[in-house]
Amino acid sequence: MFKPNGIIPALVTPLDEQGNLMENSLKKVIDYTLEAGVHGVFVLGSTGEIYGLTDKQKQRVIEVTVEHVNGRVPVYAGAGEITTNNTIKTAQMAEKIGGVSALSVITPYFVSPTQDELIEHYKAVANSVKMPIILYGCDGRAHNSIMPETALKLSEVENIIGIKDSSGSSERMDKYLELTKDKEDFSVLCGIDTFIYHGLCNGTKGAIASSANVAPKISVGIYNAFMNGDLEKAQELQNKLQPLRDAYALGTFPGVIKEALGMVGIDVGVALKPVGPMSDKNREELARVLKELEVYNIK
């Protein structure tokens, strides 16, 4: 069974003012992250605005990504929708395209399923495809939780191979790790960029990181330093990443990441409305952070 590992950027979906997919910009972001040494790429997550894309756009994002990556690293794709039926439809679409190593499925958002309902949801999705499935818990955005005991039950499903934890709780992450430590085919991945080092120290296999759109070398550096046994350097790089994560508060997610990429020198357009541009003051602060990280690239 496929085993996810390493630093996997949760890529933005470049969109112009009319909401059209900017395919060349998507390729540029992919190249930028691959040049930094990432271990995979993840499209159609919350950072990728899956919630606002048409079925045709979702399909095209996967097609462009698979074709452009061309086997250099694994491609992960989001298939999370509000209902089980729509999640199955998106998952089957991704499977039909081919070239995707695993699907990430966020808990249904807007609705608030019970843990039993989540188990039935994930089992139905997993049974609808042959592809590996990664659970995705993001309490702050989906407003519901995959409890550790639920993750343990779902780890028994053959093609459910891991969980991306964006709960924001290091205690929750540690509990996932504790309960599934004997599950060789189940991986816990960090979904909060500020916990990458903590997660690795406690047994995570890597991270799906939105900040790796902007400063991928830092996240990759944390992982590589840790794997090489240089814990001091890994901690130092984790601390270096903190101001970028803090800068998310300067704008509305994921627009701030798109504005940051523009300052890196890659035009990825705008976020879908109602997300608007950052204020001039906050844009200046974001530019300062990027200059300190040595990724600012506006001449």
**How far apart are alpha carbons 204 and 263 in whole angstroms?**
31
**CB-count burial class (<10 Å; 0-12, 13-18, 19+) for 155:** buried
- Tell me whether strands 133-137 and 160-165 are parallel, antiparallel or unpaired: parallel
**How far apart are alpha carbons 135 and 122 in whole angstroms?**
8
**How far apart are alpha carbons 299 and 297 in whole angstroms?**
6
**How far apart are alpha carbons 242 and 13 in whole angstroms?**
24
CA triplet 211, 144, 141: central angle to 5 degrees? Answer: 30
**Can you give the C-alpha Rg of the chain in angstroms?**
18
> Contact 61/43 with Cβ under 8 angstroms?
yes
Say whether 164 is catalytic. yes
Say whether 136 is catalytic. yes
- Phi, psi (rounded to 5 degrees) for 231: -70, -30
**How far apart are alpha carbons 273 and 253 in whole angstroms?**
11
Would you give the end-to-end CA distance of the chain in angstroms?
Answer: 46
Select which of 28, 58, 153, 164 is catalytic.
164
H helix runs in 129-192, sequence order = 139-142, 148-154, 170-179
Select which of 32, 76, 122, 136 is catalytic.
136
**CB-count burial class (<10 Å; 0-12, 13-18, 19+) for 198:** middle
Catalytic sites, residue numbers: 136, 164
